[in-house]
Each structure stands twice: as C-alpha cells, then as structure tokens.
Amino acid sequence: MKQWSLCLLICCLFFASCKKDKKECPIPETPGITLIFKGLFNGEPLILNNEYTYSNGNKLRISQLEFYISDVRLVKNGVETPILDVGLLDFSVSHNEECSAKAGEYIEIANIPDDTYDEIRFGIGVSPTLNATVPEDYLATHPLGRSVNHWSAWNSYIFAKVEGRSDEDGNGEFENNIVYHTGNDIMYREKSISTTITTKSGTHTPISMVVDVLDLLSDGGNSIDLGISHSSPLDSAAVETAVFIMDNFDTALRLE
C-alpha cells in the first residue's frame, strides 16, 4: 500500500511540475475588441531570425515584420461603424520566441457600441488623409509619431516592412540583405473579412487573424527574387516589388 501511495505521489509531482514548466503567453482580456495578428511563415509560427525555406529552396531569416492598419470599421448589413483611426503592428518583440509568437501581436480598442456585426473592414497602410500628415504632428507615443516610419522623399509613411537576410549561394552565411518597404497612397489597400462579431459592454471580444510572410513574398505562381531588395524611389522599377507585397496582403492576411 505504501508503495502505491509513493508511486501516486511521484506521478502527481511529475505532472504538476510539467504543468508549472509549461509557459503561457495569454493576450489580456480587457473590455472591448482586441485585434490579434499572428505572424506565420508557410503556416508555421514566425519566430524572428529563425531559419525558414523560401519557395525556391533557399534559406532565409526574417528579422522584422511591421505594418500599419487604418480606418478600422465594423459592419452590420452594410452600415459601417468606425472604431480605430490607425494602429501599428510591430512584430519585433512579440515574435522573438514561440510562446509569444503563438499569442500574437495585438491592438486593444475600447468603447465599442453593443451589437452583432457581420464584417470587419480596414486599410492596410496609412489612409490617404492621415498619410498627408507627418510625425511632427503627433506625440512620439502615437502610431504615426515615429520618424523612422516616415519617408520624406516619398511624402509618405512606410506602410509595411519585411526585413531579413537570405542565403542565395547555399554557403550558410546569409549574406544577402532583404529590405522591402512599401508606401505612398497608390499602395494603400482595403481588407474586408466576413465574420460574426458580437460586442457587449464590459466583455472581451477577440478577433484573431494571421499574416503569412511567405504569402507576402510569393503568390504561388510568382515569387520575389530575394537577391533584389526594395528601398527605391517611386520612379524605380523596384516599386513593382512593393506593389506585389501590398497586393498579397489580400490572401496573406486572413482570419485564423
């Protein structure tokens, strides 16, 4: 009997230890809507600076993913309710390890009118009205207050950033820089997602989405040549790369 009791105690301690060691990274459940964006690469959690395989078989590491959303609206029977002017999704902290990457980057929005909606709409990038402003118009803590996110030569905020390094010759050195920045009103894109969203005062309503970096860089039939990075003026042919990325947000960003 004592042996069975000892065995049971050891098992209990073992499972308790496993449960304790299991790291959890929950999203705060604050009243209102929480827009959650989880970075992926080819369907797997995106861990910045981890090694992934590109569509051509070459290896790459993503070191930064960042983009603006703006003019966020909830929709019911075609009628729009604005809930957010602009927000910045910066994955540089939340996607440095697996636990927080699986939890995602998020934006909290309070004071949402109680109702049941059938759609959410938002722009990817900075809306033309806000894109006509400059960082000096805002506090440094505002999403549009970061001077590093504004291109004076483009008269535009940088709508999205995908940065990293790739190994183009297979020597394991990752010597090739990947720097894809997008901006300017012509690259602003609208996204619409149909889903039932029920809001009630004092309750937490999460809307969880994913964005797959591989789908930003490749649409299945065409892929960006990682040997050519984009950071050129609008009159350059490299603008096609930026447009390609912004167009691909339509399928790369989707409901989880």
Q: Is the pLDDT of residue 6 over 80?
A: no
The H-assigned helical ranges of the chain are 2-21, 98-103, 128-131, 213-217, 239-252
Instruction: Give the model's pLDDT for residue 93.
Output: 86
- Identify whether the C-beta of residue 70 lies closer than 8 Å to the C-beta of residue 142: no
Instruction: Give the model's pLDDT for residue 25.
Output: 84
Pairing between β-strand 32-41 and β-strand 204-212 as defined by DSSP bridges: parallel
CA distance 236 to 110: 42
Mean pLDDT computed over 33-59: 97
Mean pLDDT computed over 89-106: 94
Which residue type occupies 127? S
Q: Is the pLDDT of residue 160 over 50?
A: yes
Q: Between 104 and 15, where is the model more confident?
A: 104
Q: Which residues contact 95 (CB under 8 A, 6 or more apart)?
A: 39, 45, 46, 47, 48, 65, 101, 105
Instruction: Give the model's pLDDT for residue 71.
Output: 98
Instruction: Give the model's pLDDT for residue 238.
Output: 74
Mean pLDDT computed over 146-173: 94
Q: Between 80 and 28, where is the model more confident?
A: 80
Residue 137 main-chain phi, psi, to 5 deg? -80, -5
The token pair that represents 56 in the structure block: 């051509």
Instruction: Give the model's pLDDT for residue 227.
Output: 79
Instruction: Give the model's pLDDT for residue 223.
Output: 94
When the pLDDT of each residue in the chain is averaged and rounded to a whole number, the result is 90
Question: Which of the four pLDDT bands, split at 50, 70 and 90, describes residue 230?
Answer: low
Give the residue extent of every domain in the chain.
33-255
Mean pLDDT computed over 205-213: 98
Instruction: Give the model's pLDDT for residue 229.
Output: 67
Detail the DSSP E strand segments found in 42-128. Answer: 44-45, 51-53, 59-76, 79-90, 105-109, 115-124
**pTM (whole model) above 0.75:** yes
Give the burial string for 9-38 (b: 16+ CB within 10 Å, else e).
eeeeeeeeeeeeeeeeeebeeebbbbbbbb
Q: Which residues contact 175 (CB under 8 A, 6 or more apart)?
A: 165, 167, 168, 169
